[in-house]
Structure 1
């Protein structure tokens, strides 16, 4: 019996037919190479489009504003100066705002992540009475909102105005994050694992803290990252609910300093062109420096959190 093969197929008599693979043609090789080149080019351009604006802000914050306006700053700084950073850090409000932001971020993230994890796990349990009704009530809040005035009245009547809780509690539970966490628990934590733990005498609380949370590290780190970024960049709630300047977060402090710099630059009178130009120069330096100051801590911290995004923790868990 003869064996008929494709002209591009090499058959080794010592190998089974299931392992016989046709050799790629010259056309296939060039097609794969062209695809790889195109995909790499698109990826590099996408990275450049994201990274370069950040790099430009950094070099512009230490460059002469006149050089920035003239287009001389695009790859390397020109007329290096640290005047913008010196003026920012010389203001005591910056350090006070930084301390407040750290407190709001740590406390707000802890409250939000704890609440979302506990609520999402409870809603993921099919044996929980009324979970569909509760989930429906949560989803309704995504489409209908009471508005800013109602929110302010609730915070005021609860006695939280001008306190840290006015910044932390109103947005503690994000419904979208709750849905993500609930879906994660439903599809990742098998019911057989809970039944095995119950057979060993584990209560629901013990199963949640000893089994569910250790197996949910990717979800926990995702929730932490999302809420850290949101709390760090948040300023609107503080603007509405806080009256004491000493309790302002960093973003609100930087906003006030920026407004003050713009007012100073536009309020120059008497036709003094040199004074106006100097004020404009300081305002531009301050803008770029503020962006770097407000963004740099997160840019440093987030890469260290990236390593916790691991998968495969559930392999063998049921066994």
Structure 2
């Protein structure tokens, strides 16, 4: 009886906690971590410094900036370069047009490409392979500028805000990304279950598939938004109305005028009072325009970055 009690006591005794010593890194591992950290810090500096350089030169004395004396710290800080940008004629309307085309164009492009890519996964669709190959062919074959101009003329898109929206609503590349994402990440059983419950193709797309496409949709949104915001060639080719000019085109004209003015200064064709009145240099205008163009993209990219890598990786597995 005593032995039985002793056995129970032995069983009920708590196990001794084993102290696990922290693993010591070897000398080679420490050297590797140090070199790795140094490399990534250097890489970060190489990526970030050009933007920092541009910014400090836009707020520094223009003469010092033109002489190449602003490298790490700003000197003679002022914000006249940015104030000059806001004095450009039609700059407010151009900014509004650029924002409108970016928001509307991005939303419609993402929606159309998402639906088209989803439809390319439907095996029941008649002529699906032909349609898919037809769209992919457009990635390699283009009609050219003149036929496109004639087509836009017949469609009434010249001097029309829709010329910024309609031509880019469908992209074969974006369609391929969505198609691949649907095939690799969204189980077909979800659509089958919805169809058994009586859901149609539009219900399946908007209520079942679309909410699961967030990573690839964010990727498409980044691609499209950057393209819409930076594009100004469509303004050059198809738009003559000043109230439809985009911010990129207005800044491009401003940069061209500033460069021409700087050439006149260098050639001695301007009077001394005109030269004194022209505080800006060609380089200060270029750098300020660059910052105005890049800042909006910097502002929105962090909100989409966490989806970007996953979306583009999954969408690029196969075509």
Q: Which residue of 2 aligns with 1:219?
A: 216
CA deviation map 1:73-120 (0-9, x unaligned): 111111112121111112242111100101111111122111101100
1:55: how far off?
0.7
Q: 1:309 to 1:240 in 2, by over 3 A?
A: closer
Q: 1:197 to 1:59 in 2, by over 3 A?
A: same
SS of 2:215's partner is helix
Q: Which residue of 2 aligns with 1:157?
A: 154
Aligned-residue Cα RMSD (Å) equals 2.5
How do 1:184-195 and structure 2 match up within 5 A?
184-195=181-192
Task: Find the aligned partners of 1:270 and 1:310 in 2 and give their Cα distance.
Answer: 53
CA deviation map 1:42-67 (0-9, x unaligned): 22222111111001111100111222
SS of 2:149's partner is helix
Which of 106, 111, 114 is equivalent to 1:109?
106
Does 2:296 align with 1:305? no
SS of 1:143's partner is coil
Q: 1:161 to 1:202 in 2, by over 3 A?
A: same
Q: Which residue of 1 aligns with 2:239?
A: 242
Q: Does the 8 A contact of 1:265 with 1:279 survive in 2?
A: no
Report the TM-score, using the length of structure 2 for normalisation. 0.83
1:277: how far off?
7.3
Task: Find the aligned partners of 1:296 and 1:217 in 2 and give their Cα distance.
Answer: 25
Task: Find the aligned partners of 1:255 and 1:217 in 2 and give their Cα distance.
Answer: 35
SS of 2:159's partner is coil
Task: Find the aligned partners of 1:270 and 1:311 in 2 and give their Cα distance.
Answer: 57
Farther-moved stretch of structure 1 (245-254 vs 284-293): 284-293
Which of 86, 89, 100 is equivalent to 2:83?
86
Q: Which residue of 1 aligns with 2:285?
A: 286
Q: Which residue of 1 aligns with 2:116?
A: 119
Does 2:146 align with 1:167? no
Task: Find the aligned partners of 2:153 and 2:173 in 1 and give their Cα distance.
Answer: 26
Farther-moved stretch of structure 1 (282-291 vs 185-194): 282-291
1:176: how far off?
1.2
Task: Find the aligned partners of 1:39 and 1:50 in 2 and give their Cα distance.
Answer: 17
Which of 52, 56, 70 is equivalent to 1:55?
52
Farther-moved stretch of structure 1 (227-236 vs 277-286): 277-286
Q: 1:174 to 1:78 in 2, by over 3 A?
A: same
Task: Find the aligned partners of 1:234 and 1:113 in 2 and give their Cα distance.
Answer: 17
SS of 2:26's partner is helix
Q: 1:276 to 1:219 in 2, by over 3 A?
A: same
Report the TM-score, using the length of structure 1 for normalisation. 0.83
Task: Find the aligned partners of 2:180 and 2:310 in 1 and give their Cα distance.
Answer: 16
Task: Find the aligned partners of 2:39 and 2:277 in 1 and give their Cα distance.
Answer: 42
1:166: how far off?
1.3
Task: Find the aligned partners of 2:130 and 2:255 in 1 and give their Cα distance.
Answer: 47
Which of 112, 120, 134 is equivalent to 1:137?
134
1:134: how far off?
1.0
Query: Mind listing any 5+ residue stretches in structure 2 that lack a counterpart?
Result: 1-14, 16-21, 312-319
Q: Which residue of 2 aligns with 1:10?
A: none
Task: Find the aligned partners of 1:239 and 1:310 in 2 and give their Cα distance.
Answer: 34
Query: Mind listing any 5+ residue stretches in structure 1 that lack a counterpart?
Result: 1-13, 15-22, 313-319
